[in-house]
Structure 1
Amino acid sequence: MLYAFGRLLVKIILTPLFRVKVIGLHNVPKSGPVIVCANHISNFDPPVVGMTMKRPVHYMAKSELLEAPFLGAILKRVNVFAVKRGLSDRNALRTALTILKENKVLGLFPEGTRSKNGELGKALAGAGFFALKSDAVVIPCAIVGEYKPFKRVFVIYGEPLDMGTIREEKLSAQEAADAIMEEIRKLRDLQHSV
């Protein structure tokens, strides 16, 4: 209930403020497990991806955010779960895999942190781990633009990645994450060239 209300509220405010334009939403399956992997340029990214998707998105966030008295209570009610950064957090891994087993959508930012200059960073192995350990469809997503009032921000959903080939080649989690990041780069570069 709170998620649906929050999504609507965010959409009403952010869509006109940042002139958000969504491209390729038809690439996101309407059912089944999905991992949406996006580049990370701002704190606005999670709500913007969430508001553009037709399905609820579950995110992991650093545990410090969920421990904050007021913010933490809200985040827990809008599909956010904690991950301890810098550690192998087995509880967070289990939670994410359970979300996918329940045919839900997991939103990930493979870089693990925001880019300070808007450039794409190196992917962490986590996105590749979840892609290889689940049957989820992996959708690359590029967020392009600056979050400045009335400047346009594009949210571009690419075609599903062929994880079957990646699994057959027995790539490592890091190599799978790098492949996902490369697809995000292609989407971003394609938008820049338009």
Structure 2
Amino acid sequence: MYYIAKFVVKVFFKILYGLHFEGRENIPKDTTVIYACNHRSNADPPLLGAGGRGKFAFMAKEELFRNKLFAWLIRSLGAFPVARGKGDTGVIDTAVERLNSGRSLMIFPEGTRSKDGKVGKGHTGAALIAVRSDKPIIPVGICYGEKLKFRTPLTVKYGKPIYPEEYCEISDNPNPRQLVKLKNRYMADIKLLVEGEPQANEDKKEENADE
């Protein structure tokens, strides 16, 4: 069922939106990973899953599990509940367990959907999970116009892996400052994938201002 759903999603978005992927060669084949992605719409989880390798796990708000039939469906697709705003520390343990059991994790570090398409500052949750699991982070950018409309060019870009040991000592209780440095790195990579390099004319403005 999982792979059937993945195939259907991929075909659906290819037909309606011309979906294509960039940078899938950056995804390691020998380990599960943490996909850290920008967040713009409810379509983001299936879009992210369609181009990734293997099976996924992902967090979903606990309210979605109240309906038994829907709860069964999303659990079968890799979802596990999180109590938002309640300091649910157990969700970190669950995420690490899923990674170690053979499922990659998708996470949206901004914590909420962007209203203007720009990438926000993000949170350190993905960094903490990476350090505790010793799994690489793959920055991902879902890119399209102002809104996701029919035949809107739609691209999912996968960046190069970021290895947590380059920023933090692998530990169950990592240094908070090191976590922030790791977070800043993957958020900067996501922003680069989504928004691209700074425009040349902006650079010229800065040069002229210095003269």
Tell whether the 8 Å contact from 2:167 to 2:179 is kept in structure 1 after alignment.
no
Aligned residue number for residue 165 of structure 2? 164
In the aligned structure 2, how far is the partner of 1:164 from the partner of 1:90? 22
Runs of 4 or more consecutive aligned structure 1 residues displaced over 3 Å after TM superposition: 168-172
- Compute the TM-score of the two structures, normalised by the length of structure 1: 0.90
- Compute the TM-score of the two structures, normalised by the length of structure 2: 0.83
Deviation at 1:104, TM superposition (A): 2.6
Deviation at 1:177, TM superposition (A): 1.9
Deviation at 1:42, TM superposition (A): 0.7
Deviation at 1:17, TM superposition (A): 1.0
Amino acid paired to 1:190: G
Q: Any gaps of 5 or more consecutive residues in structure 2? A: 200-211
Tell whether the 8 Å contact from 1:59 to 1:106 is kept in structure 2 after alignment.
yes
SS at match of 1:147: coil
Deviations 1:139-168 (A, max 9, x none): 100111042111111100001114222116
Residue 151, structure 1, aligned to residue 152, structure 2: yes
SS at match of 1:58: strand
Aligned residue number for residue 192 of structure 2? 186
Amino acid paired to 1:93: I
Residue 140, structure 1, aligned to residue 146, structure 2: no
Aligned residue number for residue 105 of structure 1? 104
Map 1:22-171; keep pairs closer than 5 Å: 22-145=21-144, 146-167=147-168, 170=175, 171=177
SS at match of 2:70: helix
Deviation at 1:86, TM superposition (A): 1.1
Alignment CA distance shift 1:191-1:24 (3 Å): farther
The structure number with the bigger radius of gyration is: 2
In the aligned structure 1, how far is the partner of 2:45 from the partner of 2:121? 19
Tell whether the 8 Å contact from 1:33 to 1:135 is kept in structure 2 after alignment.
no
In the aligned structure 2, how far is the partner of 1:129 from the partner of 1:78? 24
SS at match of 1:140: strand
SS at match of 2:196: helix
Q: Which moved more, 1:138-147 or 1:38-47?
A: 138-147
Deviation at 1:8, TM superposition (A): 1.4
SS at match of 2:195: helix
* Identity %, equivalent residues: 31
Deviations 1:93-134 (A, max 9, x none): 111011122243111111112112211122122111112212
Tell whether the 8 Å contact from 2:26 to 2:158 is kept in structure 1 after alignment.
yes
In the aligned structure 2, how far is the partner of 1:101 from the partner of 1:162? 16
Tell whether the 8 Å contact from 1:144 to 1:191 is kept in structure 2 after alignment.
no
Deviation at 1:181, TM superposition (A): 0.8
Q: Any gaps of 5 or more consecutive residues in structure 1? A: none
SS at match of 1:148: coil
Bigger RCO of structures 1 and 2 (CA < 8 A, at least 6 apart):
1
Alignment CA distance shift 1:144-1:81 (3 Å): same
RMSD value over aligned CA atoms?
Answer: 2.0
Deviation at 1:191, TM superposition (A): 7.7
